[in-house]
Amino acid sequence: MVKTFFVTGTDTEVGKTLVTQALMQAAVESGRKVLGYKPVASGCVLLDGELKNSDALTLQASSSISLPYAMHNPYAFAPAIAPHIAAAQANESISLGRVSDGLARLKATAVDWIFVEGAGGWRLPINERQYLSDWAKVEHLPVILVVGARLGCINHALLTLEAIRHDGLVVAGWVLNHIDPQMNEVQANVEALKLRINAPLLGEIPWLGGEVTESVHNFIDVSPLLK
């Protein structure tokens, strides 16, 4: 049976792609075949006649199986704006059914784990009525929360966790990503988060100075996801 995890963040720009890539690499190191899925992406550029997103390309490159780009990212929009606005400008409608069909195609390959990277935070609108979190609910996906360590992260993390659990989903774990090298009282905030988040801590990624290293997966422990 294919295990699928939904990776969300406390906000945009908290390092979801970096963490998803690290999770995928750590899973590969543990002997799993993995695939990355970015259902909806904006801020795409035209490459080889196809709109492609840098985050989705990262997930494609980190995957164990070589598949066409569109299988990793079914909805790709050029403007770097909220996806539901970008879709409206392109006269498209983002469908949960199409997103589910894309996941089903990935599950049909010889893969063990799939990591789905969301966009923005938990309540990302995809059309006038629905959120990407609605799709995670439909698919009953366990959630991995990326907490960006910066001012306000405790509030953002706890509110996001409340929303995920209110939606009836399991929080499989969380990752703390240090994104602000100027943050005050870092350790006090870290301890406050650890005290209040009732879920496995899968890793703590230090400030990397904007550089993504090949060894970032060494900060991740995927063993709690085996349960």
The model's pLDDT over 113-129, given as tens digits with 9 standing for 90+, comes to 999 999 999 999 999 99
Binned at pLDDT 50, 70 and 90, residue 156 comes out as very high
Task: Classify 76 as helix, strand or coil.
Answer: strand
Which helix (H) or strand (E) segment holds residue 107: the answer is: helix 96-107
**Amino acid 151: pLDDT:** 95
Residue 124's CATH number: 3.40.50.300
Contact residues for 141 (Cβ-Cβ < 8 A; gap 6+)? 4, 5, 6, 116, 169
| For residues 182-200, average pLDDT | 96
Tokens representing 109?
Answer: 């390959």
pLDDT at 227: 79
Q: Which member of 3, 16, 33, 38 is catalytic?
A: 38
Q: Which domain holds residue 135?
A: 3-226
Residue 213 has pLDDT above 70, yes or no: no
Average confidence score pLDDT of the chain: 95
So what's the pLDDT on residue 210? 66
User: What is the pTM for the complete model shown?
Assistant: 0.96
3-state secondary structure of 51: strand
Q: Running DSSP on this structure, what letter comes out for residue 220?
A: B
pLDDT of residue 212: 64
pLDDT band at 10, cuts 50/70/90?
very high
pLDDT tens digits along 28-60: 999 999 999 999 999 999 999 999 999 999 999
Tokens matching residue 72? 């990793």
CB atoms within 10 A of CB 88: 15
Q: What is the arithmetic mean of pLDDT over 12-38?
A: 96
Q: Based on the residue annotation, tell me whether 38 is a catalytic residue of this protein.
A: yes
In the chain, how many domains are there? 1
